[in-house]
Amino acid sequence: FSPDGRFILTVNDDGSVRYWDVEREKIVHSFTLDSEFNYYAGTQISSDGRLGLVRPNTEAGNPTVYIFDLQAGKLLRKLNVTEKGQATGHIALSSDARTLLVPALLHQKTTVYDLEKGTERQITANGAVVSFLPDNRYAVWGGKDGVVSVRDIQTGKLVATSSNHKYPVGGMSVAPDGRVVLAGHARFSHMPAPNKETLKEDFAIRVWQLPESLWPKTTADRIAEASRLKGHSDSIEGLAWSADGK
């Protein structure tokens, strides 16, 4: 959905992308992806409603992120995100639509793309799930070790971290005010079967309270766990906040 809820961006496995006017039930723009791969992980619209992203399913072999100008109805840029070993299904776009984060699944590296300057660089960060904080200076990563960590985008410096977990972070969402992070954990096929007696504990959604100040310090702050939302008994791979954060 667009931030105002008036438009949606969809992608089909045949490579067709549609930008819809929800109220009028009409297609505003349509695009066809020039890719030999037919697997896509989803779409995203920037906070200002200007840009649209189509995220690839890189685990299925698709290497390309597509960025569209939704007002002009044209393709702005294609990014090959697997040429540096960056197989990923989770990417993050800053609220000002200037920066794209592409974390690697197999390596502790995240590529930072400056979409205005057309430059890229890498920072060290443990996690294949990532979300920006509202100020766009910091981002939150969810790691294979279950740790939620906050880093400075410019320096890569670790400024806050949580305790670990037996399962990796599969889904994560930052509250609109940037103060709380929800993290859900996922068990993949190669992992041992979970203990039936602890399912709801293992797959409870962790509610993490971020430190009041995230300015870089000599040592990283500890992220406090505020509560747990119990009810799931299997992998959690997606989380979302309501717009009012309630």
- pLDDT for 72-113, tens place per residue? 999 998 887 765 555 565 788 998 889 999 887 777 889 899
Residue 240: the pLDDT is 83
Residue 239: the pLDDT is 83
Say if CB 99 and CB 51 are below 8 A apart. no
* Dihedral angle, C-alpha 56, 57, 63, 65, nearest 10 °: 10
Least confidently predicted of 24-28, 115-119, 142-146, 221-225 = 221-225
Say if CB 2 and CB 19 are below 8 A apart. no
The tens digit of pLDDT for each residue in 167-220 reads 888 888 999 888 899 988 887 666 667 677 767 777 888 899 998 776 555 556
Q: Computed from CA positions of residues 185, 190, 195, 196, in that sequence, does the dihedral angle turn out positive or negative?
A: positive
pTM as predicted = 0.80
Average pLDDT over every residue of 5-32: 92
Residue 189: the pLDDT is 62
- As a three-state string, the secondary structure of the chain is CCCCCCEEEEECCCCEEEEEECCCCEEEEEEECCCCCCCEEEEEECCCCCEEEEEECHHHCCCEEEEEECCCCEEEEEEECCCCCCCCCCCEECCCCCEEEEECCCCCEEEEEECCCCEEEEEECCCCEEEECCCCCEEEEECCCCCEEEEECCCCCEEEECCCCCCCEEEEEECCCCCEEEEEECCCCCCCCCCHHHHHHHCCEEEEECCCCCCCCCCCEECEEEEEECCCCCCCCCCCCCCCCC
| Residue 72 or 40, more confident | 72
